[in-house]
Structure 1
Amino acid sequence: GLFVYPDSERTDGHRSIQTTLLFLLSSTTSRRQHQRPRRRPQFNQIQNPPVLTAVLDSLSVARRGCSVLNSIPHSCPVLLTRRTAGDPSASPCAALGQEWLDAGEMVHGFVIRSGFDANIPLANALIAMYGKCGSIPMAEALFEGMAVRSLVSWNTMVAIYEQHGDVVEAIKFFHRMLTEKVGFDCVTLVSVLSACGRSGALETGKWVHEFARSHGLDADARIGNVLVDMYAKCGEIADARKVFDCLHVRGVVSWSAMISAYANHGDSEEALKLFCLMKSEGVRPNSFTFTAVLVACGHSGLVNEGLKHFNSILSDYQMSPTLEHYACIVDMLGRAGRLVEAYEIIRGMSLCPDKCVWGAFLGGCKLHSNLELAEFVAKDLFQSGSNDVTFYVLMSNMYFEAGMLEDAERIRRAMKEMELKKTAGHSAVNQ
């Protein structure tokens, strides 16, 4: 692994964060490779709990693909400030991998040995870290073991349950907050409503909406945005629109949520009409807005209009199209039978196409029975070592439909040898 050590004894906070984080990651890599780290981490240079808190946050930032050295100086003051305001989202919500959990556990061990475990912001950061790593029992144990908890502590636990789709536990924790009279804020309700939207718990979501209204919080933009999203995900588009129309301030998040609601429920006309209204009111669309617009165009077969919006992302707004945008436009062209055009767009991508982009393309090939083009692309995908089951299933089905049973069986055998299994679908049932 790569080892980076301090070249001076400076005690600058950002320097301490950078050095510690880089050592943690390199030492966990060494441990996996059965190598011995050349030097123990210089934890004794860190006598400041907020620095350790920021190190834990930085594990999340780095896991999202950000440059550690670039992200830390800018992110730490903001993260620490937001945490004191009760916002558990001060730590990014990306799920962390095992090596990041190992690094976090090293910090946790030092915290205990140094007697910092009573530091509330640091304990909150540890809870959030374990939650993001999927180690919910450890997060729960830390929370229950706190002698004194802040509102952030409670909000962090509710957010963890929400992020893992456990609406029952999120609601139970919210009720516990009310019972123990610890208070609540908009951040609490946003997490609970998000959990309702994720699980389709409409009746619970309505109850939380009424609770927010009775406490005068429904006018808050964050609550309004998540209510639009919750009602839309539960299929109540009319209720989502009522909330949207009552918002005093509608930012790009509000508009994008409502446009997405119409697009995902097949009302492309209303989605595109709302997009035009948004632009006329001077609200600049963002990446999520364009994803919703492209989905709307795709559902209605408005290929040329979709291409116009896709091209405007760069030409009119100087934004780079995301993988989601490419997947939408490839799917749109594929459904229309314009497969060669779709392939040319993929070849011209500045990003590396992911499974969604290639899956959309192969789906178009299957729809229009273009086995030749599908084979051409699938051959490269298989040779590159792709083990995404979707590609294998699509090709097997195409061979079967073309009467090429031996080829279909060959793909199935390859799936079995690679132990690839088709993921079973599931549905959320409102309880």
Structure 2
Amino acid sequence: MMSTGLVRNGRVACMIADRIDGQDTYKWNSIIRGYLERNSPKEAILAYAHVIREGLKIDSHTLLFTIKACGRVSGSFEGAEIHAHIFKMGFESEIITQTALVQMYVLFHDLLSAQRVFDETPQRDLVLWNTLVATYTQMGQPRKALSVSYTMINENVGPNGVTVASILSACSSLRALEQGKLIHGFVIKCIMGPDVFVYNALIGMYAKCGCLSHGRRIFERMAGRNVVSWTSMINGYSDNGRPHEALALFREMESDNVRPDGVALLGLVNMCSKLGCFELGEWADQYIKRNGYDESTCMANALMDMHAKCGNVKEACRIFSRMTAKTLVSWTTMIQGLAMHGHGIAALVRFSQMQREGFRPDGIVFLSILGACSHAGLVNEGRRCFRLMIEEHGVVPWMEHYGCMVDLLCRAGLLNEALEFVERMPMEPDVVMWRALVGACKNQGNIALARKVMRQLLELEPKDSGNYILISNLYATIGEWDNVMEVRNEMGYRGVIKIDPGCSLMEVKDHVNFS
């Protein structure tokens, strides 16, 4: 007899029992399945409890429906009891119940138990193997997914399209291009007429691995491209720093009469954010509204971020104010948007408001608010927020948090305090901090401190040409030309070569030009 909280609700169990007569297994299976299909998993478990209590006969389908019901109510205790019943009644060799148990434990995020059930199953079919491979892929353990797939092949179980899609997803997460290419070869040789699902997985894998030419070749040869195919290719261009091509492909998708879904439109917003083009951002906003996707919180967050990066912080604020279901991401996005445009006071106001409304700031929020204080020159507020982060919210500072504080102090001309702050850090400072200090010393003419910091910089990265150029420029600023020549000679002696210059972009009539 099951001794769960659900079963203790005797009134409901008695109501079920009063309506059902007889000991027919099929009848009870139909009742349990009916509750499951009507999205009443608790009642399904109660019906099963009655069957067990009355000693009625059950079969693998009874267990299958009840296991699924436990998964839907996150009934881990009830699920463990069902698992015990399976052993007690001799159903542990039934592949259908073992597969359902693995899926149930996955829903409980109990991968250890899922693996144990899999290992204890004497005869494992392709469905069970696919379930385990997909589980490790979806739960962020791609290496384990690949390991399971190799074991599966060694045991002479032939993968199908579902297996291949899961393995390709694992390769995408690992950026494992060579393994992905091997799977592609397997698809060509062994899978007759692979479906669009497999092709989409291949496109996604090549895009994640930065091999866009291979992905585009598959995309062009596909006979039945769907919206996922287009979205995978578009996001591939966008994620690999080619937003122009992503946008061109999006417009090609439109002309091909493929209606974009929410994922495709999020990709559109992402590429507009990367381009930082004001007019393009406005067009994307209107396009999304026309298609009715602007009401979701996820889309509103993305639009806020896009408008802020395109320079329209007023519109970002308007979207934020209209949101009825704000999340921590919403608050973070708004604070970041205000910070990047120098609205430090407004960012602090939103930060305070966020806490009043019950949102607990995390490391990302504090990073944004410290950046806002830095750009607005709010030194005391920055110090207070840094203490608040550690003392009241228990957030262990990242290197980026320390970097924001160093930048804040350097911008305010507090160079000695900045150096003391760096020297008191519980971790080794990175080159970014030392460069910030050298740059601040140069701007404020503190040569003595600059010399001290430069030694630290060259010890950390003796082969980085940027460090030598920074030091050379510092000496040039104060007219110490002998030292300039000494730095240049040392570059030659160490074999340090000046890196290529960077690039800039300019928006002209809705076109972004790079130079």
Judging changes above 3 Å, is the alpha-carbon distance between structure 1 residues 322 and 22 closer, same or farther for their aligned structure 2 residues?
Answer: farther
Give TM-score, length-normalised by structure 1: 0.76
Distance 2:285 2:345 in 1: 28
Deviation at 1:274, TM superposition (A): 1.5
Amino acid across the alignment from 1:141 = R
Distance 1:44 1:353 in 2: 52
Deviation at 1:176, TM superposition (A): 2.7
Matches within 5 A, 1:295-374: 295-349=371-425, 352-374=428-450
Aligned residue in 2 for 1:231? 307
Judging changes above 3 Å, is the alpha-carbon distance between structure 1 residues 354 and 60 closer, same or farther for their aligned structure 2 residues?
Answer: farther
Deviation at 1:348, TM superposition (A): 4.6
Give TM-score, length-normalised by structure 2: 0.64
Matches within 5 A, 1:176-255: 176-255=252-331
Aligned residue in 1 for 2:47? none
Amino acid across the alignment from 1:295 = G
SS in 2 for 1:190: helix
Residues 232-255 of structure 1, C-alpha deviation per residue, up to 9 Å, x if partnerless? 112112122112212222212222
- Check whether the contact 1:186–1:222 (CA below 8 A) recurs between aligned residues: no
Distance 1:140 1:305 in 2: 50
Judging changes above 3 Å, is the alpha-carbon distance between structure 1 residues 46 and 397 closer, same or farther for their aligned structure 2 residues?
Answer: farther
Deviation at 1:306, TM superposition (A): 0.7
Distance 1:158 1:191 in 2: 7
Aligned residue in 2 for 1:151? 227
Deviation at 1:298, TM superposition (A): 0.9
Deviation at 1:140, TM superposition (A): 0.7
Distance 2:501 2:395 in 1: 34
Higher relative contact order (CA 8 A, sep 6+): 1
Judging changes above 3 Å, is the alpha-carbon distance between structure 1 residues 163 and 19 closer, same or farther for their aligned structure 2 residues?
Answer: closer
- Check whether the contact 1:271–1:296 (CA below 8 A) recurs between aligned residues: yes
2:249 aligned with 1:173:
yes
More displaced 10-residue stretch of structure 1: 347-356 or 149-158 = 347-356
Aligned residue in 1 for 2:170? 58
- Check whether the contact 2:431–2:461 (CA below 8 A) recurs between aligned residues: no
- Check whether the contact 1:56–1:125 (CA below 8 A) recurs between aligned residues: yes
2:250 aligned with 1:138:
no
More displaced 10-residue stretch of structure 1: 339-348 or 247-256 = 339-348
Aligned residue in 2 for 1:69? none
Distance 2:147 2:432 in 1: 33
Amino acid across the alignment from 2:435 = G
SS in 1 for 2:345: helix
Distance 1:308 1:164 in 2: 39
- Check whether the contact 2:269–2:306 (CA below 8 A) recurs between aligned residues: yes
Matches within 5 A, 1:257-268: 257-268=333-344
Distance 2:199 2:363 in 1: 35
Distance 2:155 2:168 in 1: 14
2:457 aligned with 1:403:
no
Distance 2:268 2:418 in 1: 40
Q: How many pairs does the alignment contain?
A: 371
Distance 2:154 2:486 in 1: 55
Residues 257-276 of structure 1, C-alpha deviation per residue, up to 9 Å, x if partnerless? 22222211112111111111
Amino acid across the alignment from 1:276 = S
Aligned residue in 2 for 1:70? none
More displaced 10-residue stretch of structure 1: 324-333 or 363-372 = 363-372
Residues 353-396 of structure 1, C-alpha deviation per residue, up to 9 Å, x if partnerless? 44433322322232333334433343344234454443222211
Judging changes above 3 Å, is the alpha-carbon distance between structure 1 residues 145 and 354 closer, same or farther for their aligned structure 2 residues?
Answer: farther
Distance 1:131 1:404 in 2: 50
Judging changes above 3 Å, is the alpha-carbon distance between structure 1 residues 144 and 391 closer, same or farther for their aligned structure 2 residues?
Answer: same
Larger Rg: 2
SS in 2 for 1:266: coil
- Check whether the contact 2:276–2:310 (CA below 8 A) recurs between aligned residues: yes
Judging changes above 3 Å, is the alpha-carbon distance between structure 1 residues 356 and 45 closer, same or farther for their aligned structure 2 residues?
Answer: farther
Residues 89-147 of structure 1, C-alpha deviation per residue, up to 9 Å, x if partnerless? xxxxxxx5xxx333332333333333277243333232222223322211111112223
Distance 2:416 2:147 in 1: 45
- Check whether the contact 1:165–1:199 (CA below 8 A) recurs between aligned residues: no
How well do the aligned residues superpose, as a CA RMSD in angstroms?
3.1
Aligned residue in 2 for 1:105? 181
- Where does the alignment leave 5 or more consecutive residues of structure 1 unmatched? 1-8, 25-40, 63-95
More displaced 10-residue stretch of structure 1: 277-286 or 176-185 = 176-185
Aligned residue in 1 for 2:238? 162
- Check whether the contact 1:199–1:428 (CA below 8 A) recurs between aligned residues: no
Aligned residue in 2 for 1:279? 355
Judging changes above 3 Å, is the alpha-carbon distance between structure 1 residues 338 and 177 closer, same or farther for their aligned structure 2 residues?
Answer: same
Residues 31-90 of structure 1, C-alpha deviation per residue, up to 9 Å, x if partnerless? xxxxxxxxxx9596662544443444334544xxxxxxxxxxxxxxxxxxxxxxxxxxxx
Residues 191-212 of structure 1, C-alpha deviation per residue, up to 9 Å, x if partnerless? 1122112112222221221122
SS in 2 for 1:218: coil
Aligned residue in 2 for 1:418? 496
Q: 1:123 aligns with which of 199, 216, 236?
A: 199
Distance 2:178 2:506 in 1: 33
- Check whether the contact 1:339–1:365 (CA below 8 A) recurs between aligned residues: yes
Deviation at 1:220, TM superposition (A): 1.3
Judging changes above 3 Å, is the alpha-carbon distance between structure 1 residues 410 and 42 closer, same or farther for their aligned structure 2 residues?
Answer: farther
Amino acid across the alignment from 2:480 = M
Distance 2:219 2:257 in 1: 17
Residues 324-371 of structure 1, C-alpha deviation per residue, up to 9 Å, x if partnerless? 222211111222333343334434545554443332232223233333
Judging changes above 3 Å, is the alpha-carbon distance between structure 1 residues 116 and 57 closer, same or farther for their aligned structure 2 residues?
Answer: farther
Distance 2:417 2:148 in 1: 47
Distance 1:188 1:420 in 2: 41
Aligned residue in 2 for 1:391? 467
Judging changes above 3 Å, is the alpha-carbon distance between structure 1 residues 342 and 196 closer, same or farther for their aligned structure 2 residues?
Answer: same
Distance 1:122 1:195 in 2: 25
Distance 2:390 2:326 in 1: 24
Distance 2:193 2:455 in 1: 54
Amino acid across the alignment from 1:129 = M
SS in 1 for 2:505: coil
